[in-house]
């Protein structure tokens, strides 16, 4: 069974985190929700609280198949500044393992030095990344090598489904997409 780490920092974007976690668990992907702090309850940007399964400091790249970062500016800045998240991102990239980020979170990938040439993110975040290759709204999800990025809350379901496709294959992707009535996802 594939295992995906979703690290949460205070101020994370709830729609993105919950959509990703929910879609992956529906596809029978094991999701580890990790807190950056010593607290197991993490408050999102809109005051929704999620209980983490473990602390991010307990995780390394050998334990997981993919790491996926939700956005939200406060959460993104914390992910970019957290030494454990940055370490895991670099380890994952060095091993050629899958990395994902949505909304503002590609900023944290860029700080770790793992963001590839082609990417997308929430509009205006590319100005903080200052990296060529920004694809804008050309696609809801952009893949370049082992890195997958998406635009924001409105694309979170499609992003989760693309992760399912990558980890579980076309059949699981199509079945889940149909069940969720997500026919608008590419």
CATH number of the domain to which 106 belongs? 3.40.50.880
DSSP alpha helix (H) spans, the chain:
14-26, 73-81, 83-94, 106-112, 125-129, 156-168, 170-179
Six-digit token string for 79:
């992910």
Place of tokens 């040439």: 117
| Residue 86 lies inside a defined structural domain of this protein | yes
Q: Looking at the domain assignment, is residue 133 inside a domain?
A: yes
pLDDT at site 137: 87
Residues 140-167 pLDDT 10s = 999 999 999 999 999 999 999 999 999 9
The answer to whether position 126 is within a domain reads yes
Q: What is the DSSP string of 16-54?
A: HHHHHHHHHHHTT-EEEEEESSS-SEEE-TTS-EEE-SE
Which residues have a catalytic role annotated? 103
- For residue 22, the model assigns a pLDDT of 98
Check residue 110 and give its pLDDT: 97
In a domain? residue 26: yes
Domain count within the chain: 1
pLDDT at site 1: 87
Domain extent for 123: 3-179
Can you give the pTM of this predicted structure?
0.97
Give the pLDDT score at 176.
96
185 within some domain: no
Is 153 a domain residue?
Answer: yes
Decide if 87 is inside a domain: yes
Q: What is the pLDDT along the chain (186 residues), one digit of tens a residue?
A: 899 999 999 999 999 999 999 999 999 999 999 999 999 999 999 999 999 999 999 999 999 999 999 999 999 999 999 999 999 999 999 999 999 999 999 999 999 999 999 999 999 999 999 778 999 889 999 999 999 999 999 999 999 999 999 999 999 999 999 999 999 997
């Amino acid at each position: 069974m594939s295992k995906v780490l979703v690290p949460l920092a205070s101020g994370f974007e709830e729609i993105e985190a919950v959509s990703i976690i929910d879609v992956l668990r529906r596809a029978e992907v094991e999701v580890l929700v990790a807190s950056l702090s010593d607290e197991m309850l993490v408050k999102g940007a809109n005051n929704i609280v999620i209980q983490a399964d473990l602390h991010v400091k307990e995780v390394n790249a050998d334990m997981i198949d993919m790491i996926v970062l939700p956005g939200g500016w406060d959460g993104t800045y914390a992910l970019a500044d957290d030494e454990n998240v940055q370490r895991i991102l670099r380890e994952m990239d060095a091993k050629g393992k899958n990395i994902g980020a949505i909304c503002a979170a590609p900023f944290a990938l860029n700080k770790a030095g793992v963001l590839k040439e082609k990417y997308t993110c929430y509009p205006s975040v590319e100005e903080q990344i200052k990296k060529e290759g920004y694809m804008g709204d050309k696609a809801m999800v952009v893949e370049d090598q082992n890195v997958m990025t998406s635009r924001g809350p409105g694309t979170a379901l499609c992003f989760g489904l693309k992760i399912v496709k990558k980890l579980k294959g076309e059949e699981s992707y199509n079945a889940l997409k149909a069940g969720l009535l997500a026919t608008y996802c590419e």
